[in-house]
Amino acid sequence: MEFKHEPVLLEECIENLEIKPDGIYVDGTLGGAGHSKHILEKLSSGGLLIGIDRDEEALKAAKENLKQYKNVKYYHGNHDNIKDILKELKINKVDGILLDLGVSSYQLDERNRGFSYLGDNLLDMRMDKSQSLTAKDVINTYPEEKLANIIYEYGEEKLSRQIAKRICQTRKQKEIETTKELVEIIENTIPKKMQKDGHPAKRTFQAIRIEVNNEIKPLYETVINCAKCLKNKGRLCIITFHSLEDRAVKKAYQELEGKCTCPPGLPYCVCGNHSYGKIINKKPIIATEEEQERNSRSKSAKLRVFEKQE
């Protein structure tokens, strides 16, 4: 399948990165290189783009999409390890980092990857096929309470406990192996009158995907590490699609910006507060109405920007 993916908040990201022609930039979620292509258009031959992705199929597609550019380094890895990746590449600091935390349209549409609740495919959902944990493992081995908590927290599914209970009852009879089997369990659990807000399996599938790929837990530390990898005046742009992601990014930005807790009137700071820079937009940037109409995926997208200051 061709790797098609319309980059969300494209103009807003490019504008807020404030790209320097000779700068070094990191796209930590390279995907099909939708954002990266526009970053490279603004770089001179002296500039450099580092593209990181955990999905080898995405890297392959990106290399094809960016084949006319020579100033790109590709890295198969996880943006959570950005500090180590830059160290391995012998790069100390960079001018900008972009993270688009959503799953790509390609991954959702490529049904044999098990991301989609449409069709009948093996429960996989791994962005990085080299990892061992799959959606099948989560569905068939997690205790009922843990499964319910994941579906509630990551999927914001009100009937999480009922769904988890039905999954556990079903797997006692037979291992749950396919997306179709899981969808049928969910459809049989959620009353028809509550199945009007999109596909009934959407929220549960999102939750399982987040758990399989560990998308939330390391995010706070990832944001902190990314900011510390920036040069002075370097920008960090992060697009989130989930309330928990946005909360983690917002909290990390606030921590990085710092806040003096000294009593007013002191001639200088004694609380030991350290600021790494400033939050550029206190309120997240959202997609325009036109983009939301054109690309439904952008409706839940939020962009937050941080600038490193030394």
Looking at the chain, the domain(s) classified CATH 1.10.150.170 span 124-212
pTM of the model: 0.89
What fold, for 10-101+218-308? Rossmann fold (3.40.50)
Of 238, 245, 225, give the one whose Cα is nearest residue 280: 238
**Distances in whole angstroms, Cα of residue 291 to Cα of each of 97, 239, 242:** 23, 15, 18
Under the banding of pLDDT at 50, 70 and 90, the label for residue 269 is confident
pLDDT for 48-90, tens place per residue? 999 999 999 889 999 999 999 999 999 999 999 999 999 999 9
Under the banding of pLDDT at 50, 70 and 90, the label for residue 116 is confident
Residue 52 half-sphere exposure, CB side, CA atoms within 13 Å? 22
pLDDT for 174-225, tens place per residue? 999 999 999 999 999 999 888 877 899 999 999 999 999 999 999 999 999 9
Looking at the chain, the domain(s) classified CATH 3.40.50.150 span 10-101+218-308
What fold, for 124-212? DNA polymerase; domain 1 (1.10.150)
* Phi and psi based region of residue 160 (left: phi greater than 0; alpha: psi -120 to 50; beta: remaining): alpha
